[in-house]
Amino acid sequence: MFFDVYRFCFDPACKCGGILLVLQRDAKGQYLFDLICHHLNLLEKDYFGIRYVDPDKQRIMLSSCRQEQSPADAGYTKLEYSGSAGGSVWLSFKCSIFVFAFLSPVYTPTHWLEFTKSIAKQMKSQPPFTMCLRVKFYPPEPATLKEEITRYLVFLQIKRDLYHGRLLCKASDAAMLAAHILQAEIGDYDPGKHPEGYSSKFQFFPKHSEKLERRIADIHKTELIGQTPETSERNFLQKAQMLETYGVDPHPCKDVSGNPAFLAFTPFGFVVLQGNKRVHFLKWNEVTKLKFEGKTFHIYANQREDEKIILTYFAPTPEACKHLWKCGVENQAFYKLEKSSQVRTVSSSNLFFKGSRFRYSGRVAKEVMELSAKIKREPPEIHRAGLVPSRSCPSITHGPRLSSVPRTRRRAVHISIMEGESCDAAVR
């Protein structure tokens, strides 16, 4: 029997070897996703997805090769896991800590792994590949998510959005967000561990001034003392969700005048950004239709009973335009519909149908929140990793720091974020 071997290596400088997954050739995306969520002990998983990029666009290694011998003979360990159909799964863990990175460079063409299709069939080009778990549907109110593990993963995602300039905000909001990150990840200010200028050792934004660094330190020293990591993360999420660009995943386009713009779908509606300004915003209940033709993308909306508008934009390529449309279709269904059964399907027997048959498959936001409310279990233990400075800072201690969640016999979830320039090149 032949197997596909995928090595998840999120940082080329990392010597831990990452994670090796050995999947049968016909394994579907859902199986891989369920496997990752099982390892993370993640129940509120409908907000997440798996992303991959083409080999010519990636800078982080994920290799794939054929394995003719038995995985057990090759030194892999079988994971005790019973999920949906997909075949046997074997893992090889090269380090004691499961390194899970949310890494976000500037825009590169990426795709969401479709869970209903075979993984191998979606990898059109030759290896190496890059895959990463990402927040696909941003929770409308992330601070109210039921479980701490889910809130923490969303916190990591938004922190990366802030770092790479996708979460735009004024200086006062930026200082508060960064101070919450400091409090959550290095704890209370301690003069013995945190020397003068300690906040400048960390990179929270693409660029920031010394004045902002001092303000971040002031807030951390005086306003956040005593906050636990969980509390700081909640406060961070509450602040972030109020920003106009919360949940923005930008798609580069041009308007009818040839001006560059970014289109994005958020929990609250469709957004058009030009420069650092939001020039259009349509609520999901106003959007009536999304359509693409070649490079052209159309948004149909009713802003008032007697006012119908059509917005037209041009994507770089037909492939990028279709990807934009698919993202829009999924976001519109997830946030707008009351039930997943309301998703319109296209019959395979309709021979005269023109266009893509792609439709959203999965639970919608309302169903996800209803299921989350029914979760009753002892929270999984979380080992957070401290911030890694962008420049040398030997006086500040780092490394895994246990959260306030009580110790239990449950399997602990170790999650680490890798910071710095070496991590700027991975799946958005």
How far apart, in whole angstroms, are the C-alpha atoms of residue 428 and residue 418? 14
**Is the residue at 396 inside a domain?**
no
The number of residues in the chain equals 428
Order across the sheet with 48-53: list the strands: 110-112, 48-53, 130-135
Is residue 72 very low, low, confident or very high in pLDDT (cuts 50, 70, 90)? very low
Is residue 14 very low, low, confident or very high in pLDDT (cuts 50, 70, 90)? very low
Coarse DSSP helix, strand, coil percentages of the chain, rounded to the nearest 5 percent: 30, 25, 50
Single-letter residue type at 46: D
Say if residue 3's pLDDT is above 60: no
Q: Which residue has the tokens 């011998």?
A: 69
Q: Which residue has the tokens 């090889």?
A: 92
* Mean pLDDT of the 200-220 span: 93
Judgement on whether residues 16 and 130 belong to the same structural domain of the protein: yes
Range with lowest mean pLDDT among 24-38, 148-162, 172-186, 207-221: 24-38
* Mean pLDDT of the 45-71 span: 55
**Is the residue at 215 inside a domain?**
yes
* Mean pLDDT of the 195-219 span: 92
Q: Which residue has the tokens 């999965």?
A: 362
What is the model's pLDDT at position 333? 93
Tally of CB atoms within 10 A around 372: 18
Judgement on whether residues 301 and 233 belong to the same structural domain of the protein: no
Judgement on whether residues 321 and 235 belong to the same structural domain of the protein: no
**Is the residue at 87 inside a domain?**
no
Q: Could you list the residue range(s) of the whole structural domain that residue 322 is in?
A: 251-341+359-373
Judgement on whether residues 316 and 262 belong to the same structural domain of the protein: yes
Using an 8 Å Cβ cutoff, are 291 and 321 in contact? no
Judgement on whether residues 237 and 256 belong to the same structural domain of the protein: no
What's 256-279 look like in SS3?
A: CCCCEEEEEEECCEEEEEECCEEE
CB neighbour class for 424 (10 Å; exposed up to 12, middle 13-18, buried from 19): middle
What is the model's pLDDT at position 384? 79
What is the model's pLDDT at position 314? 97
* Mean pLDDT of the 368-383 span: 91
- The DSSP annotation for 161-221 comes to HHHTT-S---HHHHHHHHHHHHHHHH-S--TTTS-TTGGGGS--SSS--HHHHHHHHHHHH
Say if residue 93's pLDDT is above 90: no
What is the model's pLDDT at position 54? 57
Count of domains in the chain?
3
Single-letter residue type at 319: E
Of 286, 311, 285, residue with least CA distance to 297: 311
Judgement on whether residues 223 and 303 belong to the same structural domain of the protein: no
We report the CATH number of the domain holding residue 198 as 1.20.80.10
What is the model's pLDDT at position 361? 82
How far apart, in whole angstroms, are the C-alpha atoms of residue 51 and residue 47? 13
We report the CATH number of the domain holding residue 129 as 3.10.20.90
- Write out pLDDT tens, residues 281-340: 999 999 999 999 999 999 999 987 778 999 999 999 999 999 999 999 999 999 999 998
Judgement on whether residues 283 and 174 belong to the same structural domain of the protein: no
**Is the residue at 348 inside a domain?**
no
> Rounded mean pLDDT of the chain?
75
How far apart, in whole angstroms, are the C-alpha atoms of residue 362 and residue 368? 10
**Is the residue at 311 inside a domain?**
yes
Judgement on whether residues 152 and 231 belong to the same structural domain of the protein: yes
- Tell me if the bond preceding 400 is cis, omega within 30° of 0: no
Judgement on whether residues 194 and 309 belong to the same structural domain of the protein: no
**Is the residue at 387 inside a domain?**
no
Range with lowest mean pLDDT among 111-125, 165-179, 305-319: 111-125
Range with lowest mean pLDDT among 55-69, 104-118, 200-214, 224-238: 55-69
We report the CATH number of the domain holding residue 311 as 2.30.29.30
Judgement on whether residues 33 and 98 belong to the same structural domain of the protein: yes
How far apart, in whole angstroms, are the C-alpha atoms of residue 389 and residue 425? 18
Looking at residue 367, what DSSP letter applies? H
Domain termination residue (choose one: 81, 112, 135): 135
**Is the residue at 15 inside a domain?**
yes
Here the tokens at position 331 are 């976001």
Please give the residue that has the higher pLDDT: either 192 or 57. 192
**Is the residue at 175 inside a domain?**
yes
What is the model's pLDDT at position 355? 56
Judgement on whether residues 50 and 113 belong to the same structural domain of the protein: yes
What is the model's pLDDT at position 294? 94
Task: At 36, give phi and psi (nearest 5°).
Answer: -65, -45
Q: Which residue has the tokens 């007697």?
A: 306
Tally of CB atoms within 10 A around 349: 6
Judgement on whether residues 211 and 293 belong to the same structural domain of the protein: no
Q: Point out which residues pair with 397 in neighbouring strands.
A: none
What is the model's pLDDT at position 390? 55
What is the model's pLDDT at position 284? 96
Using an 8 Å Cβ cutoff, are 428 and 49 in contact? no
Using an 8 Å Cβ cutoff, are 346 and 357 in contact? yes
- Write out pLDDT tens, residues 227-252: 999 999 999 999 999 999 999 999 99
